[in-house]
Amino acid sequence: INKVNIRKDKNDNEMAFIGLQDKTYQFDAVIFSKAWEANKDKFELGKVLLIEGKKSKGGFQILRANEIK
């Protein structure tokens, strides 16, 4: 994890946009409010996490996170 930006959704719940990278690839992920509330203590800069989700459609490199381990 190389960045964490916390925002409010339209219902005033916290969600996050995080930056992820390894030695070969870098992209962003959206952590919606339900997943963020259940896992926000796991998100620290430099920490390694397993995040399962779906890549967004279109030209952006964004992962929609479903499960965080």
Q: How confident is the model at residue 65 (pLDDT cuts 50, 70, 90)?
A: confident
Sign of CA dihedral 36, 38, 41, 42: negative
CB atoms within 10 A of CB 2: 11
Cα R_g (the chain), whole angstroms: 12
| Residue 30 three-state SS | strand
Q: How confident is the model over 17-61, as pLDDT tens digits? A: 999 888 888 888 889 999 999 999 999 999 988 888 777 776 556
pTM of the predicted structure, to 2 decimals: 0.78
